[in-house]
Structure 1
Amino acid sequence: MVLLQETKKEVINAELVNSIWVGEKMEFMSVDSVGVAGGLLCIWNPEVFQLKECCCNHNFILLVGSIFFNFNYVIVNVYGPNDPVGRKCVWDIFVKLKTQFLAPWCMEGDFNEIISISERKCCSKRDKGMREFNDMIEQLEVSDLPMYGKKFKWCNSHKGDRWSRIDKFLLNPEWLQIFNFKLWGLPRVVSDHCPTVLMENERVWGLRPFRFICAWFLHPKFVSFVEQTWADLNVIGWAGFRCLVKLKALKSTPKNFEVFGNVVHKLKATENATHAFDLVAEDRLLSAHELARKRELKGEAWQLGKMLERMWCRSNRNALCSIMVSGITIEDPLGINAEMLNHFSNFVAEPWLVRPTLNGPFKAIGDGHELGFLEADFSEEEIKCPIKSCEGNKAPRPDGFNMGFFSEMLEYSEG
């Protein structure tokens, strides 16, 4: 599920949401902004989160539902008013709603308020707004999750000298009894708020298989890198064997892919460099040179992000988190792997002890032109045309290479 605040969009439609969401199945609920102020958006996968009830106003969206038809809960996407009086009114609404929606709450968003003076840089006193915020937290019986990776979540983007932690995840204890959550602060690139991700400690699924990324072709030296890797090989054998050895040689040098043509790697490095400046700025003012370099990094990150957006027009991420076997839900990675292996082993198994045979009169094809046409070798053009006509950014083959790779590298793979 994705929760966004300050969308600054007066109208949010399915086309806009689809441009953000990476999955095929999607539902959403939004609150339009007033001019360029405010705006909220919640997006989720209906196969994971099943919506039952909802309500909203200008400052929040409240969703009541369940995860995989199992755990019932309440999600609240919050954008707190800028004025203390307005915030107090919203806090009072939450307290009243808690008596109506009794399932465990998870509140996330920009509350525009802090819990303690340590959450705002150069803050020296506890004011009325902080006390009212803490009163609401106590009445709702929610806890503020600690954040890893960053100390503050918001910074004024102009000078970079004001820092605070006004964005939060507030959860009822039931969440923490069921899930092993960690809250991570991600690098702040464009917005004055850093994005955060709430996730369980990652389950171990084993080694991640190699996957070719079409964005690697953006690097001007990528094709020459592949060509040189293949030229260094001295392979003897039939064509299929030579192709197998060449592909294995490419997969054995994944670090070259990452450094050379992996736009994702470059974007991550740029974001990390920007994040490092943010960490320094939490303790001291940045110099003029550091501020200039930070602006350059933001520009590079923006360009790389747009580059990926153009290249990865189809970027679906399908996650298999659990399966149901004979009415029993299995979530353990080892159990899922075993059941998947068992299912497909039975699916492709051949139960016949004796293979069937065909008996009866058959019409002869004859000899001459027809027979010669059927037994003729495929021409080079007949092989290249189907490969070139395939959509290149579809799911890869079992070896990790998609049709985009073969289409681009077809002329270099001969011999």
Structure 2
Amino acid sequence: MRRVRERLDGYNGMEVDSMGRSGGLAFMWRRDIQCQFMSASVHHMDFSVKEENREWRVTGFYGWPAASDRHLSWDLLRLLHTKSDLPWLCIGDFNEILYSTEMKGGSRPQWQMNNFHAVVDECGLRDVLWEGYQFTFDNGQSGEANRQCVLDRAMGTSAWFEMFPYAKLFHLVVAKLA
């Protein structure tokens, strides 16, 4: 990601390296926007953003991939929620779904979705409306073994939506290399 940023004139950025083949976070922003680094780990990057006459917060998030560790994801979200009163956008790969309809092929235990719901409600977050293909993850297998689900999302607080009432997330299609 660093090489991409260096090739783009007029942008600043920050990266957190991946852990093997999973994770990794990167943020880029125009140089005319003031982003103040707040904190980071292999599972998040947190910034305050000042532009024009408004200030808000954005967190890039990467949830623990193993279901047995998912409680660590929700503990981190709860902790991040307490760190600032700024309007908040949290975006990333949460490695969990909120509703059974967010999965095609296979199933997810209800308790896992309930735990995600609980932290989303506790933090006062709700999904940013999106356009594009319904699912953001595909396991790449065919037939009965194929699993697709919504693991990547953007969620904001009511105060963030007041600042950005027309915000929309676009699910882009990734071309598979042969």
Structure 1 residue runs of 5 or longer lacking an equivalent are 1-11, 191-297, 300-415
Alignment partner, residue 112 of structure 2: 129
Q: Which amino acid aligns with 1:127?
A: Q
Task: Report the 3-state secondary structure (helix = DSSP H, G, I; strand = E; otherwise coil) of the residue aligned with 2:104.
Answer: coil
State the shift of 1:30 in Å. 1.1
* 1:47, distance to aligned residue in structure 2 (A): 0.3
The letter of the residue matching 2:45 is I
Q: How does 1:262-281 map to 2 (within 5 A)?
A: none
SS in 1 for 2:49: strand
State the SS of the aligned residue for 1:107.
Answer: strand
Q: How far is the alpha carbon of 1:125 from its aligned partner?
A: 5.6
Structure 1 Cα separation of the partners of residues 64 and 80 of structure 2: 18
> Which residue, out of 112, 121, 124, partners 1:141?
124
Matches within 5 A, 1:9-408: 13=2, 15-19=3-7, 21=8, 24-48=9-33, 50-68=34-52, 70-124=53-107, 126-159=109-142, 161-179=146-164, 180-190=166-176, 298=177
Give, in angstroms, the shift of residue 167 of structure 1: 0.7
* CA distance 1:124–1:36, shift in 2 (3 Å): closer
Q: Name the structure, 1 or 2, with higher relative contact order (CA <8 Å, separation 6+).
A: 2
CA 128–60 in structure 1, closer or farther in 2 if over 3 Å, else same: same
Task: Report the aligned-residue RMSD.
Answer: 2.1
Higher strand share: 2
After superposition, the C-alpha distances for 1:180-211 in whole angstroms (9 at most, x for unaligned) are: 12222222213xxxxxxxxxxxxxxxxxxxxx
Letter in 2 for 1:182: K
**Greater helix fraction, Structure 1 or Structure 2:** 1
Consecutive unaligned residues in structure 2, runs of 5 or more = none
Q: Which amino acid aligns with 2:38?
A: C
Cα separation, partners in 2 of 1:125 and 1:93, compared to 1, 3 Å: closer
Using the alignment, how far apart are the partners of 1:184 and 1:39 within structure 2? 20
Secondary structure of 1:81 counterpart:
coil
8 Å Cα contact 1:117/1:123 also seen in 2: no
SS in 2 for 1:34: coil
Q: Report the alpha carbon displacement of residue 111 of structure 1 after superposing the two structures with TM.
A: 0.7
Counterpart of 1:176, as a letter, is F
Distance 1:96 1:34, change over 3 A: closer
Do the aligned partners of 1:120 and 1:164 also contact (CA within 8 Å) in 2?
yes
Q: What amino acid does structure 2 have at the position aligned with 1:38? A: G
